[in-house]
Amino acid sequence: MKFNLLSKVKSIVVNHEGEKAFKMSPEMELYTTVVTWSLNDTFYEKDQTRMGRLQMLIAQCNPVFVGKLAVYARTKMYMRSVPLLLVTELAKLHSGDDLVARVTDAVVGRADEITELLACYQVMNRRTGTKKLNRLSKQMQKGLAMAFNRFDEYQFAKYNRDGAVKLRDALFLVHPRAKDDLQQLIFNKIVTGNLQTPYTWETELSALGQLNFDSVEARATAFRAKWEELIDSGKLGYMALLRNLRNIQDAGVSYAHFKKVCATLADGEQVAKAKQFPFRYLAAYRELITPTNAAQNIVRAAKAAITGNKGYTGELLDALEKAVRASAANMRGFDENTRVLLACDVSGSMQQPISAKSKVLLYDIGLMLAMLLQSRCNNVEVGMFGDTWKTIAIPRHNILSNVQEFYRREGEVGYSTNGYLVIYDLSIRRVKMDKVMLFTDCQLWNSNNSTNHIQEQWVYYKQNIAPNAKLYLFDLAGYGQTPLQLLQNDVYLIAGWSDKVFDVLAAIEKGSPALDLINKIDL
């Protein structure tokens, strides 16, 4: 009995707000830490502090799980930097088989990730000066050799950039064996620096920008023609489209080309292949609807010497809404008999950018995921909590404009994190929900000087109002604690920024644990 009591006491900790919270298993904590981190400071945790916590957790977990998590984060959650960090740390701790080689090969999805992984390995192993990369992990070297043989000349040339580790350096270090004569020819070009300059939107616009034009009008005409050529070529990737909608609009491309852009954006197959974070669509949407100031208008007019296609903005916004709906098309929603409550945390700590250069906040990610899910539910209430909690009536299918509506109104509930009010309100109103879902950084607390805590509120709600209800925490920050005890009283935790979090939700609905999709990764 003493041992059981001791175990329970150790599982209770405090979160960053000093409120009671609960520890996770090392695997669960590692999962939440990895899929919610862009290698930048977060609101409550500095970058190096999280790095230390990550290293400690990796050492506590089974190496195979760590490897599968790295592949899951890269291939399912669309992350790039953190999977490389996982491989680097795994290579420090594990040897004796080819696990590191298989994981290395699996996480390298682009040619530049070969050099990025080597740079990460150099930094994390403190290889500087003459040491550098002269003692590379043999299994990592084997995995990188396999990766080298998966890329063609265009892919190598597209990502052949200057950096701490260049592609030529990587080739000499890894010594991949060419699979055929053509591959050897490409390797020789990497060595001599003779890779053919790739046709990409960056290289084409950069070359055009180096030219001297007789007039501003001539320059505008040339850039309009170049954007139209890029649109026709099919070489303008989906992400490039998302990031350049304003530029394409300002260039004044023909209406026929404009329609092509909209058709590509809204195409379900293109959306599926693009594997974009949902918030990328929101960023593009906001770029279009954000008014430019007078100074910006002068600069844009000077660059283009035309008025652009501002009248077509509505069509672009419609195309983005269709794209987002397409990204949610395969999500499993709930029928008209399943009552769902979606609660979005809009507290101060959620107003944190996901990276130093990003305008996207954790708050935005939570709203996007909630609105995606809301669009697939038939019987749903949606609201936001801070100091207070309130529900907001919105249409089901206008996903991006719904996010903007929440964004406009977030100050109405204040900036604390009183998540317990969501459950308290259900109990007071005696409303039976089947599923309650909180999109949050999980740093919930009570700012109202009462003893109410979400754990006790949920237990009461289960016992007295809705015995079959389930609560899902969508952890968007990965701080390592949870405000409720997981796997007790039907409480589950899901983490990440990709729409793939709903695959985890679907697995839980079928009775599988949250980590099941990771453990099923084939290495």
Quick one: average pLDDT of 398-419? 93
Sign of the Cα pseudo-torsion (366, 369, 371, 376, in order): negative
Cα distance between residue 58 and residue 210, in whole Å:
48
- Condensed to tens digits (0 to 9), the pLDDT of residues 477-503 reads 999 999 999 989 999 999 999 988 999
Q: If you average pLDDT over residues 335-346, what whole number do you get?
A: 94
pLDDT at 1: 34
Q: Are 403 and 324 in contact (CB under 8 A)?
A: no
The pLDDT of 398-406, averaged and rounded, is 93
Q: Is the pLDDT of residue 128 over 80?
A: no
Q: Which of 140-149, 217-226, 327-336, 408-417 has the lowest mean pLDDT?
A: 327-336
pLDDT of residue 305: 45
**Contact yes or no for 372/499 (Cβ under 8 A):** yes
Predicted pLDDT of residue 487: 87
Angle separating helix axes 181-192 and 167-174, nearest 10 degrees: 130
Provide Rg for the chain, Cα atoms: 25
User: Which pLDDT score, from 0 to 100, does residue 44 have?
Assistant: 85
- With a cut of 60, say whether residue 300 has pLDDT above it: no
Q: Between 136 and 318, name the one with better pLDDT.
A: 318
Give dist(CA 463, CA 167) in Å, integer. 61
CB neighbours (10 Å) of residue 291?
Answer: 6
* Nearest of 102, 224, 78, 240 to residue 158 by alpha carbon: 240
Q: pLDDT at residue 10 above 90?
A: no
Per-residue pLDDT, 304 = 47
Q: What is the pLDDT of residues 205-221, one digit of tens each?
A: 999 999 999 898 999 99
Residue type at position 253: V
* Amino acid making up residue 484: L
More confident residue, 297 or 118: 118
The CATH number of domain 334-519, selected from 3.40.50.300, 3.40.50.410, 3.40.50.2300, 3.30.300.30: 3.40.50.410
Alpha helices in 165-277 (DSSP H): 167-174, 181-192, 201-209, 216-233, 238-243, 245-251, 255-266, 268-274
Number of Cα atoms under 13 Å in the Cβ half of residue 371: 29
Query: What mean pLDDT comes out for the span 138-161?
Result: 95
| Structure confidence by residue, pLDDT tens digits, 177-204 | 999 999 999 999 999 999 999 899 999 9
Q: For residues 451 and 263, which has the higher predicted lDDT (pLDDT)?
A: 263
What's the sign of the alpha-carbon dihedral 483, 486, 489, 492? positive
| Residue 5 scores a pLDDT above 60 | no
Mean pLDDT of the chain: 90
Rounded mean pLDDT, 71-96: 95
Q: How many CB atoms lie within 10 A of CB 303?
A: 15
pLDDT at 294: 45
CA distance 487 to 26: 15
Query: Quick one: how far is CA 369 from the chain centroid?
Result: 11
pTM of this structure: 0.91
Q: What is the pLDDT of residues 424-466, one digit of tens each?
A: 999 999 999 999 999 999 999 999 988 899 999 999 999 999 9
> Is 11 a residue whose pLDDT tops 90?
no
Percent of the chain with pLDDT over 90: 74
pLDDT at residue 9 greater than cutoff 50: no
Estimate the crossing angle of helix 362-374 against helix 278-289, to 10 degrees. 100
Is pLDDT larger for residue 247 or for residue 307? 247
Structure tokens at 333: 């929603």
How much is the pLDDT for 132?
Answer: 66
Q: If you average pLDDT over residues 25-54, what whole number do you get?
A: 92
Residue ranges of domains in the chain = 21-192, 212-234+236-327, 334-519
